[in-house]
Amino acid sequence: MWQVLICVIFALGIICYSIFFSYGEAHMPLFLAAAFVAVVGALNGWKWSVMERGMIQGIGRSMQANLILLTVGILVSTWKAAGIIPSMIYYGLNIINPSIFLVTACLLCSIISLVIGSSYTTAGTIGVALIGIAVGLGINPAMAAGAVVAGSYTGDKMSPMSDTTNMAPGVSGSNIFEHIRHMVYTVTPAYVLALIAYFILGRSAHVSGGSVQMEMKDILQDAIQNEFSVVSPWLMLPVVFLLIAVIMKIPALPSMFVGVLMGMFCMVVVQGIDIADVFNIMHYGYESTSGDIALTGDYTVASVVGGGGFDYMLWTVSVVLCSMSFAGVLEATGMLGQIVEALLKIAKTNGLLVMTTVLTCFLINVLTADQYLSIILPGRMYKTAFEDRKLKNKNLSRCLEDSGTLTSPLIPWNVCGVTMSGFLGVTTIQYLPYAIVNYLCPIISIIYGFTGFTIEKMTDEEYEKVMEERKLEHEAAMREMEA
Amino acid 344 reads: L
* 366 vs 245: CA distance, rounded Å: 34
Residues 6+ apart with CB under 8 A from 25: 18, 19, 319
Residue 300's DSSP bridge partners are: 294
| pLDDT for position 294 | 66
At residue 441, the pLDDT reads: 96
Q: Identify whether the C-beta of residue 86 lies closer than 8 Å to the C-beta of residue 80.
A: yes
CA 411 – CA 417 distance, rounded (Å): 5
Phi-psi region of 411 (alpha: psi -120 to 50; beta: other; left: phi over 0): beta
Distance, in Å, from the CA atom of 236 to the CA atom of 192, rounded to the nearest integer, reads: 30
pLDDT digits (tens, 9 = 90+) for 377-407: 788 778 888 988 899 999 999 999 999 999 9
* Among candidate residues 1, 29, 65, 22, the one with its CA nearest the CA of residue 408: 65
Give CA–CA dist 380/302, Å, rounded.
48
Over residues 322-346, the pLDDT tens digits come to: 888 888 888 888 887 787 778 778 8
Nearest Cα neighbor of 282 from 475, 81, 96 is: 81
What's the rounded Cα separation, in Å, for the pair 130 and 144?
7
CA distance 254 to 273: 25
Half-sphere exposure of 163 (CA within 13 A, CB side): 12
From CA 370, how far away is CA 415, in angstroms rounded?
A: 6
What residues are paired with 286 via a beta bridge?
A: 307
Rounded alpha-carbon distances, angstroms, from residue 146 to 304, 346, 380, 421: 18, 33, 31, 10
Q: Specify the pLDDT at position 298.
A: 66
Parts of the chain with a pLDDT under 50: 207-212
- Cα dihedral across residues 289, 293, 299, 305: positive or negative: negative
For the chain, give every domain's residue range: 2-42+316-473, 64-314
For residue 397, the model assigns a pLDDT of 93
Q: What percent of the chain has pLDDT over 70?
A: 96
In angstroms, rounded to a whole number, what is the distance separating the alpha carbons of residues 434 and 432?
5
pLDDT of residue 283: 94
pTM value? 0.81
Total length of the chain = 483
Report the distance separating Cα 191 and Cα 406, nearest Å. 12
**Residue closest to 271 by CA, chosen among 313, 312, 305:** 305
**Which residues, including other chains, have CB under 8 Å from residue 153's CB and lie 6 or more apart?**
113, 119, 405, 406, 409, 435, 437, 438
Give the closest residue to 368 by CA, choosing from 411, 423, 426. 411
CA quadruple 242, 246, 252, 258: dihedral sign = negative
How many CB atoms lie under 10 A from the CB of residue 77? 31
